[in-house]
Amino acid sequence: MSSAEELRRRTRELLAALPPASTDRLDFLRARFDAGLAWVHYPEGLGGLGAPRSLQAVVDAELEAAGAPDNDSRRNGIGLGMAAPTILKYGTEEQKRRFLRPLWTGEEVWCQLFSEPGAGSDLAALGTRAVRQDDGDWVVNGQKVWTSGAHNSRWAILIARTDPDVPKHAGITYFVCDMTDPGVEVRPLRQITGEAEFNEVFLTDVRIPDSRRLGEIGDGWRVAQTTLNNERVAIGGMRLPREGGMIGPAARTWRERPELRTHDLHQRLLKLWVESEVARLTAERLRQQLVAGQPGPEGAGMKLAFARLNQEISGLEVELLGEEGLSYDDWTMRRPELVDFTGREAGYRYLRSKGNSIEGGTTEVLLNIVAERVLGLPAEPRTDKDVAWKDLTR
Amino acid sequence: MSAQPDLLYSEEEEALRAAVRDLLADHCDAPGVIARTESGAPHDRAAWKALADGMGLAGLLVPESLGGQGATHREAAVVLEELGRAVAPVPYLTSAVVATEALLAFPHSRLRSSGGTPIADELLGELASGRRIGALAVALNVAPGGAYKAVRHEGGALRGEVTGVADAGAADVLLVPADDGGLYAVDATAATVTPQVSLDLTRPLATVTLDGATGHLLGDAEPAVRRALRAGAGLLASEQSGLAEWTLTETVRYLKERKQFNRPVGGFQALKHRLAQLWLEVVNLRAAARNAADALSTGEDADVAVAVAQAFAAPVAVHAAEEALQLHGGIGMTWEHPVHLYLKRAKADSIAYGTAGAHREALAALVDLQAP
């Protein structure tokens, strides 16, 4: 059931039964899911056919050639990239059937309620409390932060403290939170760019039935690792053409605006161009290793490299622009649905890329991870390992 | 840029790596390499014989019809990674890559030696077998496409002096550019080769002096020298990659062992972060070097790939060696510890076949990022 030919045949059957030109977009997406052609590596009945992940490209190519609608995956990146693999791995059959189909079609967008004002790099110290009620439900109180898309989301993946009397990693449980619950309040969090990509989410007596717990009570940290590992895969798995990243707009400005060139900027631009090209090759090498079934540890490094490059290149670009670099395109407070690094001007890129070395693991934490897991250097001394969460210093 | 470069190592390439590493473990241990640097014979002839004669590796770039292995730059790059890891004092890059590439520029040499074989082909066969060692008489610092010194060609004889020729002291045949635009093959016995006191003790330089020597004209020097230096620059990145990997691995190993303040020094975050940054640079260098080797073997996008690799490799290899020295503390400053061999090689490599700046300048034209 996993040959490319078989998948091609099934895709054509779907297209014949529901010609994209005359089929409602959502009807088509639902039918595609039911045909197992949504994500072919998922199990049968859950949008897949248990086929190798690499064969998805066969399906996608057929559908694209036929002009079929896609599920606009960028709109639900957290749902597709993080919530779905976690639900697949830890969800009950009922949870998988309830959540995966509308998640994949985009009918239900997901967000992530992990970070807190007091738990950033030390996520496991989180303090949002979930307390078990007599009827078995949970009541959640606390504050989450840096939640992208919270205002558009139907569901959230949530980790909360269910046992404060054990060490921090042991007392966490993973839930699916209904974002329409009256106790959920979403407030935009304005960033240095002027806009609000992210939100603060205040949870006040939010009731979560036990049937929306994902994994065992107290096992939330382990469940969250699946989510976070998938985040890093998503960040590291990009395939870029030459000048495909942040260097592209800077190089274009250089070519189109000879009057802005100086010798100092030329040397710095060339150096960053070389580093961008090498980072691109490193990412490509990583991708080839994954395809060949020899995953290397390089993935941990790619985010570090791109964060620094994005920051240095956009900083150079602002400087290159001279007088124009003193202007900014727009400080208006907005809540964008998508982050677009290249759709705006250099000043925006400069400011937004400052977050690249903070979001998804700070550069400092990632360097620790590389040092310890890749190089095998001694771990940081732990003073919190055997201390009950409630007794930690805050 | 149409096809994606193959940036991995094949199983055969990994087997080749293992074989070369074994050989070098037997021949080029650090104390031996250090002792040799001050002996009268800075090149390790036994290691060279084992690599060239025993394994046939000097002929990787030479077609089988001429007595070589008919392999590609990808395999030669793997050999160079290992040679860099061991700072092995053998003339592999200079003879089996640079001099060989210069000779490969003359596929239809019309001048024949007594045996009737075109002379470039005959020399290629000799270099491939390791029976003779070749050196291009161009200073090691010259970048592909850069200006180089030509000796005078007067009345059938060559006169002049070329300084900074790497591994000339080990060479049997010198490939000498002359002021008539020709490249001449000169027997080393017809030249005076004077060793220079070199920064890099494991790739010693020499001055080549010609005082009326005769040589065989091979053909036009310019395209042959350019081709040779491009291959040298591109594959040097693999040597730098191997060198940088050794310094990182050895420093990490040492810092897990070395204890101060009642803990392994490698547990201090300030040092962990430096080593993690270095690891990232080394991983990037491997991709850049692999890309250059692959591009040289396919001919696709080779100018850009080589310039990118060399613009990136030199600062990384130097940084790796400098970090290794600093993080080893006092022991790293001793003559006895091998880290200085790697620092000297890395620093010399940062000038060899063009500095990073020279390669960035080349890129400016290649990718249309012109100077003001």
Pick from A288, A301, A375: which is nearest to B8 by CB? A288
Query: What whole-number distance in Å separates Cα of residue A179 and Cα of residue A161?
Result: 19
- Are the C-beta atoms of B203 and B345 separated by less than 8 Å? yes
Q: In this predicted structure, what is the pLDDT of residue B116? A: 55
Is the CB of A282 less than 8 angstroms away from the CB of B283? yes
pLDDT band at B318 (very low <50, low <70, confident <90, very high): very high
Q: What residues of A are in contact with residue B287 (Cβ under 8 Å)?
A: 278, 281-282, 284-285
Q: In this predicted structure, what is the pLDDT of residue A164? A: 98
Is the CB of A377 less than 8 angstroms away from the CB of B275? yes
| Residue B236 to chain A, least CA–CA distance (Å) | 16
Q: Say whether both A16 and A59 belong to one domain.
A: yes
Q: What residues of A are in contact with residue B371 (Cβ under 8 Å)?
A: 261, 263, 266
**CB contact, 8 Å: B262 with chain A?**
no
Q: Say whether both A80 and A213 belong to one domain.
A: yes
ipTM over 0.90: yes
Q: Specify if A319 maps to a domain.
A: yes
CATH no., domain B11-129: 1.10.540.10
Q: Specify if A227 maps to a domain.
A: no
CB pairs under 8 A between A and B: 127
Q: In this predicted structure, what is the pLDDT of residue B354? A: 98
Q: Please name which of B240, B230, B226 lies closest in space to residue B312, comparing C-alpha atoms.
A: B240
Is the CB of A378 less than 8 angstroms away from the CB of B284? no
| Residue B111 to chain A, least CA–CA distance (Å) | 43
- Are the C-beta atoms of A67 and A100 separated by less than 8 Å? no
Domain boundary among A54, A70, A86: A70
Q: Specify if A225 maps to a domain.
A: no
Q: Which of A239, A281, A286 is the best mutation test for B, with the most CBs of B within 10 A?
A: A281
Q: Say whether both A166 and A107 belong to one domain.
A: yes
The three-class DSSP label of residue A69 is coil
Q: Specify if A336 maps to a domain.
A: yes
Pick from A255, A277, A370: which is nearest to B276 by CB? A370
Is the CB of B8 less than 8 angstroms away from the CB of A377? no
Q: What residues of A are in contact with residue B277 (Cβ under 8 Å)?
A: 367
Residue A63: enclosing H or E segment and its boundaries?
A: helix A56-65
Give tens-digit pLDDT for A282-310: 999 988 888 787 776 777 788 899 999 99
| Residue A279 to chain B, least CA–CA distance (Å) | 6
Give tens-digit pLDDT for A170-211: 999 999 999 999 999 999 999 999 999 999 999 999 999 999
SS (H, E, C) A148-184: ECHHHCCEEEEEEECCCCCEHHHHEEEEEEECCCCCE
Residue whose structure tokens are 């002792």: B35
Query: What whole-number distance in Å separates Cα of residue A96 and Cα of residue B50?
Result: 62
Q: Specify if A374 maps to a domain.
A: no
**Percentage above 70 pLDDT, chain B:** 96
Domain boundary among A48, A70, A92: A70
pTM of the model: 0.92
Q: In this predicted structure, what is the pLDDT of residue B111? A: 52
Q: Specify if A343 maps to a domain.
A: yes
Let me know if A264 is exposed, middle or buried by CB neighbors in 10 A (0-12, 13-18, 19+).
exposed
List of residues 6+ apart from A5 with CB closer than 8 A: none
**CB contact, 8 Å: B4 with chain A?**
yes
Pick from B280, B360, B364: which is nearest to A301 by CB? B280
Cα-based angle B289, B282, A372 (whole degrees, multiple of 5): 150
Q: How many separate domains does chain A show?
A: 3
List of residues 6+ apart from A382 with CB closer than 8 A: none
Q: Residues A231, A312, A317, A345: which is the catalytic one?
A: A231
Let me know if B220 is exposed, middle or buried by CB neighbors in 10 A (0-12, 13-18, 19+).
middle
List of residues 6+ apart from B194 with CB closer than 8 A: B206, B207, B209
DSSP lists the bridge partners of residue B219 as: B183
What helix, strand, coil percent values describe chain A, rounded to 5? Answer: 50, 15, 35
Is the CB of A261 less than 8 angstroms away from the CB of B367? no
DSSP designation for A79: I
Q: Considering the domain delimited by B134-220, tell me its CATH architecture.
A: Beta Barrel (2.40)
**Percentage above 90 pLDDT, chain B:** 95
Q: Is A231 a catalytic residue?
A: yes
CA B99 to the chain's CA centroid: 11
Q: Say whether both A29 and A86 belong to one domain.
A: no
Q: Which residue of B has its CA nearest to A302?
A: B280
Q: In this predicted structure, what is the pLDDT of residue A294? A: 75
| Residue A220 to chain B, least CA–CA distance (Å) | 29
Q: Is the pLDDT of residue B249 over 90?
A: yes
- Are the C-beta atoms of A242 and A277 separated by less than 8 Å? yes
Residues 232-261 of B with CB under 8 A from A: 252, 255-256
Whichever domain contains A274, its CATH number is 1.20.140
Q: Say whether both A66 and A91 belong to one domain.
A: no
Domain boundary among A36, A70, A104: A70
Give tens-digit pLDDT for B26-62: 999 999 999 999 998 999 999 999 999 999 999 999 9
| Residue A287 to chain B, least CA–CA distance (Å) | 10
Cα radius of gyration rounded to whole Å, chain B = 20
Q: Please name which of A276, A279, A321 lies closest in space to residue A302, comparing C-alpha atoms.
A: A279
Token pair belonging to B262: 């009642």
Whichever domain contains A103, its CATH number is 2.40.110.10
Q: Say whether both A126 and A43 belong to one domain.
A: no
Q: Say whether both A196 and A123 belong to one domain.
A: yes
Token pair belonging to B334: 């001793």
Q: What residues of A are in contact with residue B279 (Cβ under 8 Å)?
A: 301, 370, 374-375
Q: Which structural domain, as residue segments, surrounds residue A163?
A: 73-217+383-394
**CB contact, 8 Å: B1 with chain A?**
yes
Q: Say whether both A276 and A155 belong to one domain.
A: no
Q: Specify if A376 maps to a domain.
A: no
Q: In this predicted structure, what is the pLDDT of residue B118? A: 81
| Spatial strand order in the sheet of B157-166 | B152-154, B157-166, B205-213, B192-195
Q: Say whether both A285 and A351 belong to one domain.
A: yes
List of residues 6+ apart from A386 with CB closer than 8 A: A167
Phi-psi region at B262: left, alpha or beta (left = phi > 0; alpha = psi -120 to 50): left
Q: Which of B4, B252, B258, B280 is the best mutation test for A, with the most CBs of A within 10 A?
A: B280
Domain B224-366 of CATH type 1.20.140.10: yes
Domain boundaries, chain B: 11-129, 134-220, 224-366
